[in-house]
Amino acid sequence: MSGKALVAGLVGLLVLAGCGGPRSPFIKQMEKVDKYSDRGDEKFTQGDLPLASKEFNRALTLSRAMDYQPGVARQLNNLGAVALEQGNLPRARDLFTRAWEVNRSQGNWAEASTNQANLATVAQQAGDLDAARLHLTQAENAARWSGDKSALARAFMRRSAFALDQLDFGRAESYLKQARRLARTTEVKAAVAYQQGRLALARGDTSAAADHLSQALSGDRELQDRAAMAADLYHLGETYRARRDWYQAFRYYARAFDVYASMDRRARLRECLARLKEANQEGALHQSLERFEKQLQAG
């Protein structure tokens, strides 16, 4: 998605203990790093940023202690993703840059591509579109050097999202087609479907938008990626709003509100409430907004 940082996932252990043999101390420590990182990723997708940060920091500290440079880079990136979600652009930029430098020195181009894609998000949010374009080019180059199809698919998706944000529909579609051919995992397929839905909605094709966004929601729900689920639901609301189907729009905005509430995303809650009020009025739905208003005020 256009505004979402990419968390670096776990990598499988490359050295395995023999059948029934003892595991090396290094493998045991790596398993601890993976455990902390996995917990941090789970909390991040659930929107619990303080706990995510705590687990990522534990993984970073242990990675440094054991001189495990891929782990250092991964956790710097993940802490950058937390900072970006918190709106701290300078800290996010610093952490993503440090992660990039470690990955570049190690030749870990797949995760280096993730770092550059995240730096593009920071630059775009800061309003520096030229810097964002440069980072996106570097993200694509790093993904190509890695030979990792999923990394390249993510780079194409990020370029598509940027083009769509600039209303360059032709380029957005071209990058999406390239990403779709490389999509293998549920995560990547859901992200492609989301961007397809956004593009269809921007072009006024609400039928295609509803289909793609529903596919995205199915995948993101399976992964329990709450930020992605909330975005899917909100854009489904936007799709039915464009159709002036106020009943369905209200339902999707309400569901998006509930997911955003679980992550305490106040700005998003206000956006959802404004849309709920509009749907309620335009559709003469006579739905009570009390619980939404109370929940927003309680924060």
Q: How far apart are CA 18 and CA 72, in angstroms?
A: 27
Last residue of a domain, which of 96, 130, 147? Answer: 147
* Domains identified in the chain, total number: 2
Q: How far apart are CA 31 and CA 47, in angstroms?
A: 24
Residues 123 and 169 in one domain: no
pTM: 0.87
User: Does a structural domain hold residue 2?
Assistant: no
DSSP states of 220-268 as a string? HHHHT-HHHHHHHHHHHHHHHHHTT-HHHHHHHHHHHHHHHHHTT-HHH
User: Does a structural domain hold residue 215?
Assistant: yes
Q: How far apart are CA 68 and CA 82, in angstroms?
A: 21
Q: What is the pLDDT of residue 11?
A: 36
Residue 8 is classified by DSSP as: P
pLDDT tens, N- to C-terminus, the chain (299 residues)? 444 556 554 433 332 233 455 679 989 998 999 999 999 998 988 888 999 999 999 999 999 999 999 999 999 999 999 999 999 999 999 999 999 999 999 999 999 999 999 999 999 999 999 999 999 999 999 999 999 999 999 999 999 999 999 999 999 999 999 999 999 999 999 999 999 999 999 999 999 999 999 999 999 999 999 999 999 999 999 999 999 999 999 999 999 999 999 988 889 999 999 999 999 999 999 999 999 999 988 86
Query: What domain range includes position 73?
Result: 23-147
Q: What is the pLDDT of residue 233?
A: 98
| CB contact set of 203 (below 8 Å; sequence gap of 6+) | 169
Residues 201 and 69 in one domain: no
φ, ψ for residue 107, nearest 5 deg: 70, 25
